[in-house]
Amino acid sequence: MMQNRTHTCGELRLEHAGQNVRLVGWMENVREVGGQLVFVVLRDFYGTTQLVTEDAALIAALKALNKESTIAAEGVVRERSSKNPKLPTGDIEIELSRVEVLGRCSHNELPFEINRSRDADESARLKYRYLDLRNPAVKRNILLRCNVIAALRQAMLEQGFLEITTPILTASSPEGARDYLVPARKHPGKFYALPQAPQQFKQLLMTAGFDRYFQIAPCFRDEDARGDRSPGEFYQLDMEMAFATQEDVFAVCEQVLPPIFAKYGKYSVASQPPFRRIPYLEALETYGTDKPDLRIDLRAFDVTALFAGTEFGPFQNQPVKAVPISGCALTRKQIDKLLADCEVQSGAKGYWFKVDETGALAGGIAKFVDKAAAEKLLPLAPNTLVVLAAGNLAVKMSGVMIKTFGAACEGHMDREQYAFCWITDFPMYEIGEESGELEFCHNPFSMPKGGLETLLKAERGEIDPLTIMADQYDIVCNGVELSSGAVRNHDPEIMVKAFELVRLGEDDVKAKFPAMYNAFTYGAPPHAGVAPGVDRMVMLLAGEDSIREIIPFPMNKNAQDVMMGAPGAVTQKQLDELHIAVTAMEEDG
């Protein structure tokens, strides 16, 4: 066996000419010229190298192999007569003296062409992910992920954080998503849960006296897939700081993230500290979303007063939002198409009018608009397009219109950067869509602004609990939420009162969060943290639209691993050992 290589397939240059070398890798392509000359492209993890031979026995051996077989090749480096400037190894080739088959590919046809696997159907790519990952373009995303994780880890260590791993098997906890449950063989009828996040454990580490904690943490949530969310599991840069405030967390993130984004990202420019801070309610009012893309310079305006008493039916007695877009040269057909796209995304109806080059209003709903009144509410220079929406979904629609028209209208989006911001001051509570009752809006472990006194005022009916804000914050980059964080509620009395407002008493808190409640009764430090999503960060850095492109072995949209056949059936013996009875089974659709 001659598997030990002297060089990789991306290493050889002209200065190696005349050397006898051994390479190993996958046989990417075989090209025969005139029946007496064969060229082979050999690929390994590091690149490709061209092999050539006129030896009849070697030609026969190579032609007998299917593409993607692994071989060891020995020969002398020589200068190519026809160079390929697109390849790092394009100045040389290997004149073969020996070939050995290391792993034979027994398939005449591959599921897809390796170097064009990204053009293949996603189900085929996921089923044959090990082939998909041979594509250098796909592999680059995984290499990027490795480098980013290493850089994050190094940056956190330099900031004085300790890397501590927390349990994967834990107790089920009501944290906002469905748990993945694991039956406990030794405890019939009881279950572990895979952690939705290390939330409770990292807070317990703070009470245990560890000042700064982090880990690249796996999290498990049984939720549906979308472009920026993978079903099943994901990873986050989880961190927590004792005796810390919101400002301390912000300072760490603003030191750690921009250099990594500037170094590894598709764009070399990233926001520098301090990041812009936008209160949650202001973000909704101005950008129509709590995930604004600050690369876009468009804003939403409340123009409800402009349409008071209007004859235009859809705007009568409705809140109205408008987004003015200066210098917009879109045609009526283009405007209607973009608005239709916005309507699909938001569920609201969109309308428009223009200010023409003379300054007159024209098109769309212009006849229902009072120009003088509109100029008091909107910047209306000539050649300005104004898109509008009304009703309960007007805010959401305005956000979608900003994103859609900002990208479509020239001059309103600076694409070549990573624009960070903090969204702050989230509501502590909301009215649940299903229950119709007061519920936690986000993280129930967050500290309410004003502490216990604010909660007591709500309990006494002196203030509306929906007006209580929490010390919660999100990091947003280019319109993508990277993480949520908060100053934590470390006081048992405040914790109990916060849960009482959502109809859970002290006994419920002790039962649902026994370790954390008890730990806090032993003197807990004020603490705060955040957890930027690693998968989403790498997706942004790679310039990908789907998070599955940067995960080595992703599930499909139905939370299935079609390569491994998961989830799959188990034997009756396994079920009996776990004291589980399957009462009904549905065939996979």
Q: Looking at the predicted structure, is the pLDDT value of residue 531 above 90?
A: yes
Binned at pLDDT 50, 70 and 90, residue 585 comes out as low
Q: Looking at the predicted structure, is the pLDDT value of residue 524 above 70?
A: yes
Report d(CA 532, CA 128) in Å as an integer: 30
pLDDT given for residue 363 in this prediction: 95
Top pLDDT among 371 and 177 is at 371
Binned at pLDDT 50, 70 and 90, residue 1 comes out as very low
The token pair at 366 is: 């212009």
**pLDDT tens, 20-78?**
999 999 999 999 998 789 999 999 999 999 999 999 999 999 999 999 999 999 999 99
Report d(CA 29, CA 57) in Å as an integer: 18
**pLDDT tens, 4-14?**
899 999 999 99
Binned at pLDDT 50, 70 and 90, residue 136 comes out as very high
Q: Looking at the predicted structure, is the pLDDT value of residue 227 above 80?
A: no
370-409 in b/e burial notation, b at 16+ Cβ within 10 A? Answer: eeeebeeebebeeebbbbbbbbebbbbbbbbbbbbbbebb
Which CATH number, 3.30.1360.30, 3.40.50.410, 3.40.50.970, 3.40.50.1000, labels domain 296-408?
Answer: 3.30.1360.30
pLDDT given for residue 177 in this prediction: 78
The token pair at 522 is: 């032993």
CATH 2.40.50.140 domain locations along the chain? 14-103
pLDDT given for residue 289 in this prediction: 98
108-117, 237-246, 436-445, 551-560: range with lowest mean pLDDT: 436-445
pLDDT given for residue 34 in this prediction: 83
Question: Which DSSP state fits 409?
Answer: S
The mean of the pLDDT values for the chain is 94
Report d(CA 282, CA 287) in Å as an integer: 8
Report d(CA 42, CA 316) in Å as an integer: 69
- Closest to 540 (Cα-Cα) out of 418, 416, 402: 418
Binned at pLDDT 50, 70 and 90, residue 209 comes out as very high
pLDDT given for residue 584 in this prediction: 74
Work out the percent of the chain whose per-residue pLDDT is above 70: 98
Work out the percent of the chain whose per-residue pLDDT is above 90: 92
Top pLDDT among 298 and 3 is at 298
Average of per-residue pLDDT across 370-385 = 95
Average of per-residue pLDDT across 92-114 = 97
The token pair at 208 is: 């245990």
Binned at pLDDT 50, 70 and 90, residue 3 comes out as low
Q: Looking at the predicted structure, is the pLDDT value of residue 2 above 80?
A: no
Q: Is the dihedral of CA 495, 497, 503, 506 positive or negative?
A: positive
pLDDT given for residue 588 in this prediction: 53
Q: Are 344 and 272 in contact (CB under 8 A)?
A: no
CATH 3.30.1360.30 domain locations along the chain? 296-408
Query: Please, what is the angle between helix 246-264 and helix 534-542, to 10°?
Result: 40
CATH number 2.40.50.140 is the correct assignment for the domain at 14-103: yes
Average of per-residue pLDDT across 237-253 = 98
Q: Which long-range contacts (CB under 8 A, 24 or more apart) does 158-163 make?
A: 159/212, 159/252, 159/255, 159/256, 160/211, 160/212, 161/212, 161/213, 161/214, 161/239, 162/210, 162/212, 162/213, 162/214, 163/214, 163/215
- Superfamily (CATH H level) for 137-268+530-574: Bira Bifunctional Protein; Domain 2 (3.30.930.10)
Top pLDDT among 441 and 7 is at 7
Partners of 184 in the β-ladder: none
Q: Are 317 and 431 in contact (CB under 8 A)?
A: no
pLDDT given for residue 589 in this prediction: 45
pLDDT given for residue 445 in this prediction: 87
Report d(CA 36, CA 206) in Å as an integer: 72
E strand map for 6-125: 20-33, 37-44, 47-53, 70-79, 92-103
Average of per-residue pLDDT across 145-164 = 98
**pLDDT tens, 110-134?**
999 999 999 999 999 999 999 999 9
Please report where in the chains the tokens 């007159």 appear, as a residue.
360
